[in-house]
Amino acid sequence: MDEAGIIIDGLKERGYSVMLGVPTYWREYGSDTRKDERLHEYILKSDIILPWYVGRFTNEDFDEFKSVIPGDVKWCREHGIGFAGDVWPGFSWNNMNPKADDQVPRKGGEFIQRQIDACIEAGCKSIYVSMFDEVNESTCIFKIAREVPVPRPGAVVVPLEDGIPSDTYLKIAGDAAGKLKK
């Protein structure tokens, strides 16, 4: 991990801002984080951090998880570090394993909207949407065609729910951007 400090220092010396991707439970060295004091040293050298939340909760246990966010935001503010919340629309392995069930259903945008609201309520000034174009895990938010003109074997499919416009997730992201600008 010493290389990380050298890279951060080198970028900062050249005038760059540094955003550091960190595990979800970085602050207290939780279940996805190795207990290494250098992690917090590197975070303190950076300008903003982005904890990775994808797959750490489901629709059912998000309310329990969201209590992590305010503490992270507070810690970062106290240490002069920016914080970007991470939100995602849902998740599925179906494109890599057609027999798999959806692990985290999208719920017509409700799931990602709950995350956005929690981040804004916690005081996040920035939100990262995971991901714009990641079709293989069905976390993409770009506009999706409901019907493929020429279906091919092995075509990748995003589980877009019936009854919602194909650009629903882009609109949700745009609305969130508007709220953050205020």
Q: pLDDT tens, 62-77? A: 999 999 999 999 999 9
Whole-number pLDDT of residue 152: 64
Q: pLDDT tens, 103-158? A: 888 898 999 999 999 999 999 999 999 988 887 787 888 887 666 666 666 666 66
Q: How confident is the model at residue 164 (pLDDT cuts 50, 70, 90)?
A: confident
Rounded CA-CA distance 85/66 in Å is 11
Q: Which CATH number characterizes residue 62's domain?
A: 3.20.20.80
Query: Strand pairing of 91-92 and 102-104?
Result: antiparallel
**Contact status, residue 100 vs residue 92, Cβ threshold 8 Å:** yes
Rounded CA-CA distance 177/160 in Å is 22
Count of domains observed in the chain: 1
Whole-number pLDDT of residue 127: 97
Residue 19 falls within a domain, yes or no? no
Residue 152 falls within a domain, yes or no? yes
pLDDT cut 90: percent of the chain above it = 67
Domain residues for the domain of 80 are 53-181
Burial of 86 (0-12, 13-18, 19+ CB in 10 A): buried
Q: How confident is the model at residue 162 (pLDDT cuts 50, 70, 90)?
A: confident
Residue 24 falls within a domain, yes or no? no
Whole-number pLDDT of residue 41: 96
Residue 43 falls within a domain, yes or no? no
Residue 90 falls within a domain, yes or no? yes
Rounded CA-CA distance 166/87 in Å is 19
Q: pLDDT tens, 8-31? A: 999 999 999 999 999 999 999 999
